[in-house]
């Protein structure tokens, strides 16, 4: 499960944007479907590169999920994408160390 935490930390805004896509009624079903596929790939035990290979397995999950999310965002109308980005950016606070 810690793998999900590391991926979330790296792709925080993208994941929050993906969550906004899933929750917004204006988002097309194709964007929602690809977003769900990205999540399923990360949690699925079936991978292109096994997670038993320490770094490559995790990079594989992160890269495939990132690419799928970018594809999902391409399915959004530009005005909806801008509105969702604005919504996410107003909610995300900088992480203090």
Domain boundaries, the chain: 12-90
pLDDT of residue 1: 53
Q: How many CB atoms lie within 10 A of CB 75?
A: 18
pLDDT of residue 62: 81
pLDDT of residue 34: 97
2-6 own/partner pairs: CB under 8 Å, 24+ apart: 3/42, 3/51, 3/58, 3/61, 4/42, 4/43, 6/58
How far, in whole angstroms, is CA 62 from its chain's centroid?
9
Q: How many CB atoms lie within 10 A of CB 65?
A: 23
**pLDDT < 70 positions in the chain:** 1-4, 6-10, 51, 92-97
* pLDDT 10s digits, 54-67: 777 777 888 888 89
């Amino acid at each position: 499960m810690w793998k999900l935490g590391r991926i979330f930390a790296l792709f925080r805004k993208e994941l929050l944007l993906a969550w906004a896509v899933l929750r917004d009624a204006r988002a097309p079903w194709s964007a929602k479907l690809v977003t769900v596929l990205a999540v399923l790939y990360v949690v699925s035990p079936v991978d292109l590169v096994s997670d038993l290979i320490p770094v490559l397995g995790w990079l594989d999950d992160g890269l495939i999920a990132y690419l799928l999310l970018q594809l999902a965002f391409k399915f959004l109308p530009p005005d909806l994408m801008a509105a969702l980005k604005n919504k996410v950016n107003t909610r995300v606070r900088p992480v203090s160390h």
